[in-house]
A and B are shown apart, each in its own frame.
Chain A
Amino acid sequence: MSATPTASTPSAPTPSAPVPASSADLRVSLGLTATDGAALRSFLHGLPAVDPVGLEARAAQLASRSIKKDTKRALIDLAISMVDLTTLEGADTPGKVRALCRKGIAPDREHPDTPSVAAICVYPDRVATAVEVLKGTGIKVASVATAFPAGRSSLEVKVADTRLAVDAGADEIDMVIDRAAFLAGDYSTVFEQIAAVKDACGGARLKVILETGELGTYDNVRRASWLALLAGGDFIKTSTGKIAPAATLPVTQVMLQAVRDLHDLTGVQRAVKPAGGIRTTKDAIAYLVLVHEVAGPQWLDPHWFRFGASGVVNDLVMQRRTQRDGHYSGARYVSVD
C-alpha cells in the first residue's frame, strides 16, 4: 500500500498526482492494484482501528454545540435542501408519490421562500410517477434498488432492478450491500456487486447503503465505507431505515472520516447520506455540525450530503416558522404524510 488512509490525523490537503478519473485509477492511486478477496482484505484490515469511546465522546460533544439565530435559520434552510424525501412502503400509491413530490417542491406552502428538497426517494416502480411530477423542478428522483431492503437475491435480479429504475428515469440509485457476504469476510462479492450495479447505473449517481445497524462494529463501518468507495459508490449511506438502530452521529462520523480521507489522499470527493432516525431539527443541525467539523465546509452542499428522512421536513418547517413568526407552531399546521 503506497498511501494509507489515516482517518484521525489530517493528511496533506493537496495530493501531488492528478485527480484519478476512474474507480480503477482511484484504486491504483491508493496502491490497490488487484480486487480479489486477498487484496481487498489486506487493504481493509490495514485501515486504522476506530476508538469507539473517543468517537462517541466527540460526536456527543459536537452535538451539544449551540446554534442560534441567523446561523440556525441558514442551517434549517440548508437541511431542508439536503433532504431525500422518502416513501418506501408497500402501500405507496401513485397518488401518495405525487403528493410527496409536491411537498418536496414546496415544503411550506404558506412560505414560498422555503427551499425545495434535494430528491424524492421511492421504489423503482414508482420512479415514472415521480419523474412526471418533478420534471423541470431540478429535484432529483432517487430509487432504491437491488432487492431493497434485505438485498438477498442474485446479482442478475439486482442489476435488473437497477435497470428498471434507471430506465424509468431515476437520477440516483440507492443500493444495499450484501451484509451477509460482508460479515462472512467475502469482500470480493460485495465489491463486485457494487461495481456491477454502478455499471448498470449509467449516468445515475450510486448511493451504497451499508446498513450500519447490522455491521456490529465501527471498524466494520469503516471497512464497508472504504469498500463502497473503492468499488465506485458516489455516496455512502448509513441505513435502509427498516432496521434499528439506523443512522447515528458516531456512525456518520466514521463515514465522513472515510470520505474526507479519500479526498485528502486522492482529491476525489464523494458524498455521505445518513438515513433513518433523523426526526427533529436538533438532530439535523447536529449532523450539519458534524459534517462541517469532520469532513469540511465543502461538504455542506446538497450534492455532497443528504438526509434520508420523511418526518424531519415537517419539524424543520415548524422550526423555520418559529424562527420567523416568533412563536411556536404545532404539528397540526404542517402536512400529514
Chain B
Amino acid sequence: MARLAVIKTYKLYVGGAFPRSESGRTYQVRDEKGTLMANAALASRKDARNAVVAARAGFGRWSGATPYNRGQVLYRIAEMMEARRSELVDLIVSSRGLSAAQARSEVDASIDRVVHFAGWTDKLPAVFGGANAVSGPYFSYSAPEPCGVVAVAAPDESPLLPLVSVVLPALAAGNSVVVVASEADPCVAVTFAEILATSDVPAGVVNVLTGRHGEIMPWLASHADVDGLDLTGVPAAERQQLEVAAAQTVTRVHAPHRAPDFTATPGTARMRAFLETKTVWHPVGAVSLTGGSSY
C-alpha cells in the first residue's frame, strides 16, 4: 500500500520561536511540476509588527556581543548548514527543478558565503573606523556601529544563496534582521531559520516571515522602529513607494540599481549600508597659554 505523504507546514520564525501567522492564514507551496509540496504561513502586518518587536529585543544582545563572539556564532551557522546539507539540496531540487549537482553547488556557495561573513565581524572596526588625521589639538576616532533593526525583502531568483547573501552582511555588522522570504519559495528560508534556531544565534536576531512582499513590506518600510531597509528583493517599479515610506520615518535604504550577481565574491557594500559611524573628538596636547603642560 502506498504510504501517505506527510506534507510539512512551514511556520514563521519570530523571536526564536516558530509561531503560526497571527491571522491563521496559510498558503500552498507547489514545486516545479505544480505538485503540492508544503503549506506555509501567510504572514500579516501584525506578524511583521511582532517580528520588529522581537528584533528590537534581540538587537540589544547581538550588538552588545563582542565581534569575536558574533563571528563564532555566524561560523556555527555554517557548521549547522553543513550538517543539513542534503536536506537543503533536496529542497532546492524539488522546488526549482535544478539538477542535484546545481543544487549542491548553490548550497556549497551559501555555506562558503556564511563563513566569509563570519570572518568579517571583528575586522569591521579596523576597515571602516580608526584614528582620523585632523588638524587641531584633538584625537579623533571613528568607530562603525550597527544601525539597529534591518528589514529585508529576500530576492527571488534562487532560494538559498541570495537569502544568505542579504541576511549575513547585516548580521555581521551587528544588526538584527526581519527578512520576508521569497513568496514562491518559502520552504528553504524556513529551513534556514530552523538552522539558525539551532546555531547559537540569540532569539530575535533573525526573524523570518513568509507571505506576500506586497502586503508586508509597506508596513516594515513605514515602521518607525525599523532602522534599515534592504530592497534588493523588490522589483524596481515597486521601490519608490517603499522608499518614500521609509524616508518618513528616517530609515536607511539599500536599493542597488543593478540586479546583484550573488555568485560573485561579495563586496563590503551590504555591510557598510547598515553601519553608522560614530566619531569621537578628544582634546589632546598643550592647550594652555604658556604652551607647556596644562598642569
Q: Please name the residue on chain A nearest to B220 by beta carbon.
A: A328
Give Cα A332 to B222, complex, Å. 15
Residues B224 and A329 in contact, CB atoms below 8 Å apart? yes
Residues of B within 8 A of A331 (CB): 56, 225
> Which A285-337 residues have C-beta < 8 A from chain B?
326-333
Give Cα A331 to B52, complex, Å. 11
B104 at the interface (CB under 8 A from A): no
B223 at the interface (CB under 8 A from A): yes
Out of B224, B245, B248, name the residue touching A330 (CB < 8 Å). Answer: B224
Q: Please name the residue on chain B nearest to A332 by beta carbon.
A: B225
Residues of B within 8 A of A326 (CB): 222
Nearest CB of chain A from residue B34's CB, rounded to whole Å? 37
Give Cα A331 to B224, complex, Å. 9
Residues A327 and B223 in contact, CB atoms below 8 Å apart? yes
For the complex of A and B, list the 10 residue pairs with the smallest distance between their C-beta atoms, beginning with the closest.
A330-B225, A327-B222, A328-B223, A329-B224, A330-B224, A328-B49, A333-B224, A327-B223, A328-B224, A327-B224
Interface residues of chain B, those whose CB is within 8 Å of chain A, are 49, 52, 56, 219, 222-225, 245, 248-249
Give Cα A327 to B248, complex, Å. 10
Nearest CB of chain B from residue A287's CB, rounded to whole Å? 20
Residues A327 and B245 in contact, CB atoms below 8 Å apart? yes
Give Cα A328 to B245, complex, Å. 11
Give Cα A331 to B57, complex, Å. 11
Residues A328 and B52 in contact, CB atoms below 8 Å apart? yes
Give Cα A329 to B56, complex, Å. 12
Q: Please name the residue on chain A nearest to B49 by beta carbon.
A: A328
Residues of A within 8 A of B245 (CB): 327
- Number of CB contacts from chain A to chain B under 8 A: 28
Residues A330 and B222 in contact, CB atoms below 8 Å apart? no
Interface residues of chain A, those whose CB is within 8 Å of chain B, are 326-333
Nearest CB of chain B from residue A280's CB, rounded to whole Å? 10
Q: Please name the residue on chain A nearest to B222 by beta carbon.
A: A327
Q: Please name the residue on chain A nearest to B245 by beta carbon.
A: A327
Nearest CB of chain A from residue B62's CB, rounded to whole Å? 17
Give Cα A296 to B222, complex, Å. 39
Give Cα A333 to B219, complex, Å. 17
Residues of B within 8 A of A327 (CB): 219, 222-224, 245, 248-249
Main secondary structure of the interface of B (DSSP, over half): helix
Sample of 12 further A-B pairs with CB below 8 A, known A328-B219, A330-B52: A327-B219, A327-B222, A327-B223, A327-B248, A328-B52, A328-B223, A328-B225, A330-B56, A330-B224, A330-B225, A331-B56, A331-B225
Residues of A within 8 A of B249 (CB): 327
Give Cα A327 to B242, complex, Å. 12
19 contacting pairs across A/B (C-beta < 8 A): A326-B222, A327-B219, A327-B222, A327-B224, A327-B245, A327-B248, A327-B249, A328-B52, A328-B222, A328-B223, A328-B224, A329-B224, A329-B225, A330-B56, A330-B223, A330-B225, A331-B56, A331-B225, A332-B225
Give Cα A242 to B200, complex, Å. 34
Residues of B within 8 A of A332 (CB): 224-225
Q: Please name the residue on chain B nearest to A321 by beta carbon.
A: B224
Nearest CB of chain A from residue B278's CB, rounded to whole Å? 17
Nearest CB of chain B from residue A109's CB, rounded to whole Å? 16
Nearest CB of chain A from residue B57's CB, rounded to whole Å? 10
Give Cα A331 to B225, complex, Å. 8
Residues of A within 8 A of B56 (CB): 330-331
Nearest CB of chain A from residue B271's CB, rounded to whole Å? 23
Q: Please name the residue on chain B nearest to A327 by beta carbon.
A: B222
Give Cα A332 to B148, complex, Å. 12
Q: Please name the residue on chain B nearest to A328 by beta carbon.
A: B223
Residues of B within 8 A of A330 (CB): 52, 56, 223-225
Nearest CB of chain A from residue B179's CB, rounded to whole Å? 17
Give Cα A333 to B250, complex, Å. 13
Give Cα A221 to B52, complex, Å. 39
Residues of A within 8 A of B222 (CB): 326-328
Residue among B52, B222, B224, B225 having the largest count of chain A Cβ atoms under 10 Å: B224
Residues of A within 8 A of B224 (CB): 327-330, 332-333
Residues of B within 8 A of A329 (CB): 224-225
Nearest CB of chain B from residue A334's CB, rounded to whole Å? 11
Give Cα A333 to B225, complex, Å. 8
Residues of A within 8 A of B219 (CB): 327-328
Nearest CB of chain B from residue A106's CB, rounded to whole Å? 20
Give Cα A326 to B221, complex, Å. 12
Q: Please name the residue on chain A nearest to B48 by beta carbon.
A: A328
Residues of A within 8 A of B49 (CB): 328
Nearest CB of chain B from residue A134's CB, rounded to whole Å? 31
Nearest CB of chain B from residue A66's CB, rounded to whole Å? 12
Q: Please name the residue on chain A nearest to B149 by beta carbon.
A: A330
Give Cα A38 to B228, complex, Å. 68
Give Cα A317 to B223, complex, Å. 15
Give Cα A318 to B245, complex, Å. 18
Residues of B within 8 A of A328 (CB): 49, 52, 219, 222-225
Q: Please name the residue on chain B nearest to A333 by beta carbon.
A: B224
Residues of A within 8 A of B225 (CB): 328-333
Nearest CB of chain B from residue A311's CB, rounded to whole Å? 14
Give Cα A329 to B222, complex, Å. 9
Nearest CB of chain A from residue B25's CB, rounded to whole Å? 16
Q: Please name the residue on chain A nearest to B46 by beta carbon.
A: A328
Nearest CB of chain A from residue B78's CB, rounded to whole Å? 32
Nearest CB of chain B from residue A272's CB, rounded to whole Å? 30
Residues of B within 8 A of A333 (CB): 224-225
Nearest CB of chain B from residue A91's CB, rounded to whole Å? 22
Give Cα A329 to B225, complex, Å. 6
Give Cα A332 to B57, complex, Å. 12
Give Cα A77 to B240, complex, Å. 35
Residue among A326, A327, A329, A331 having the largest count of chain B Cβ atoms under 10 Å: A327
